[in-house]
Amino acid sequence: MSPATADPVPVRALNQVTYCERLYYLQYVDCVMPTNEHVEGGLFDHRRADDPALAGKPRKDGDATRTRGARVSSEALGLVGVLDQVEQKNGEQYPVETKHGSAPRDEDGKPTTWDNDAVQLCAQALLLEEQTGAPVARGFQFYAGTRERVEVRFTDDLRAKTLAAVARVRELEVLDAPPDPLPSELRHRCFGCSLAPVCLPDETLYQINRPASAAPAEAVTRVIPTSDDGAVLYLQEPGSHVGVRSEHLVVKKDGQQIARVPIHAVRQVVVFGNVQVTTQALHTLVENEVPVAYLTGWGKFVGSLTGAGPKNVGLREAQYRRFAAPAECLLLAKAVVRAKLTNQRALLMRSLRGDDARGSDEPAARGLHDLLAGLDRAETMDTVLGTEGQGAALYFGEFGRFLRRQPPGRGFDFATRNRRPPRDPVNALLSFAYAMLAKDCFSAVGTVGFDPYKGFFHQNRHGKPSLALDLMEEFRPVIADSVVLTLINNEMVTPDDFLVWRDACQLTDAGRKAFFAAYEARKATVVTHPVYGYKMSYARMLEVQARMLAAYVRGSVPGYAGFTVR
């Protein structure tokens, strides 16, 4: 593809590709552009250069003429850019670029420039040369962190390096997956990178080099925050109305205000049944990247409202290819079922462990162990589905014994799993917990850029978020089932917190409030990742697993390991 027919390369992209090719790919090919304090600081430093009132207008400043926000492009070079500043002085014209950080030092302690910054500045000079027809021999890099202006000479070597960066961009933009993370000797460049929680450099390299039977890693650096900031706002009051005022969500019913919540303190909104949310409120939530999940009054997950969504089409293309291959689906299905059975067995042994008995001695625990041992030999999806079903039968066959005995009239009985609709309080809690977990898994796979409706295990379920349900499998026992046991065994709910009508049972509003508190507390629980060895909340683990599944789907890592606990 020639420069004349390809989309022009943004000059700033040459900085990223020189610094880290994986960073360039994620930002410009996948169009993933998160922000952090360093990005925000750079935007602040560029506030004058980016001021539209000053863009493209030459201004006399002493003995120099300065033009901010100059737009230049070249079909021959295949480049386009907005230059922070172009100076003209004593018949010479040259670019001046502002950077947020500090100027590096040479061996003599004098300020110099970073290689990636020099390449970006040189690209600006090449554009100026073509536009004016006059040579540009030098430019200046202004580092706002140290308030230093450093001269950069555009040597033949630097010009060649700049053109090579353009060529490398052309090679990378047609790849199906991002290149590998930086090697260990360059890993310091990952510090402070806003894309580190998306890139997961240590996790990716560990997976690439990890032996099949390796113990959990000891040197993987956690770059995803331990837990989520902000709270989940649950809206369930029938007939209530949600609007926005002064950067607050205001909840009213019958004209009376019943809640007022700062938007910056909310990370997700969950709407049940007959609750009206205004267009203005939805617009503000989407602008602030706060997803809104909708559920029926009975607690069935309906869908989620988010922004425009990730633009990394390459991941979804790879998802469709991989999940169309029966062998790939079988491999991934075995991974999630293995994790689910492992977690079911762990919860079963923990719940049935007594002073004079070990949980591993339970027949159901031995049965789950045998199913795990035979899972690797499964050669068809039907066999995996059968194994998962046998595991569920063993697990739920003992689930009633997980429940602590309560005084007469306050206890709960569990005989068998039933649903659609659930017919008793325990099953109502289980179904509600699975609906909540499904909406969180839907959010996780959507955040990463997957199509939530194309799965590998829950196949051919039209209208179902199959991939969200796939990811959910390994977390059912450790999040959803654990919440149900906590609510019942700690007497956080009683039989009075349920409504039974005909053959259906559901939580009351008061019962839901108790559930939400327990559910959010469980998601905030910090646990250790079984592969990477670091600690974070269950809520963040959903994202980690979704991102590592994406890495496998795109071919960046050789396998996918489900999340398990001991």
Query: How high is the mean pLDDT in each 10-residue block of the chain (566 residues)?
Result: 67 93 89 60 51 64 80 90 88 88 87 92 93 91 88 95 94 88 84 81 81 58 61 80 84 83 81 84 83 77 72 85 93 94 92 67 88 90 93 91 76 82 90 91 89 86 83 94 93 88 85 90 88 85 92 90 88
pLDDT value at position 225? Answer: 59
CA distance 545 to 499: 36
Q: In whole angstroms, give the CA distance from residue 524 to residue 308.
A: 28
Token look-up 């999630």 returns 336
Question: Which residue segments constitute the domains of the chain, with CATH numbers given?
Answer: 9-189 (3.90.320.10), 231-305 (3.100.10.20), 319-553 (1.20.120.920)
Q: Which residues contact 87 (CB under 8 A, 6 or more apart)?
A: 64, 65, 66, 93, 94, 95, 96, 140
pTM: 0.78
- Alpha-carbon distance of 179 to 172, in angstroms, equals 8
Whole-angstrom distance, CA of residue 543 vs CA of residue 440: 10
Q: How far apart are CA 425 and CA 420, in angstroms?
A: 13
Q: What is the C-alpha to C-alpha distance for residues 111 and 159, in angstroms, rounded to an integer? A: 21
Rg (CA), the chain: 28
Beta strands in 236-316 (DSSP E): 241-245, 248-253, 256-262, 266-272, 276-277, 292-295, 301-305
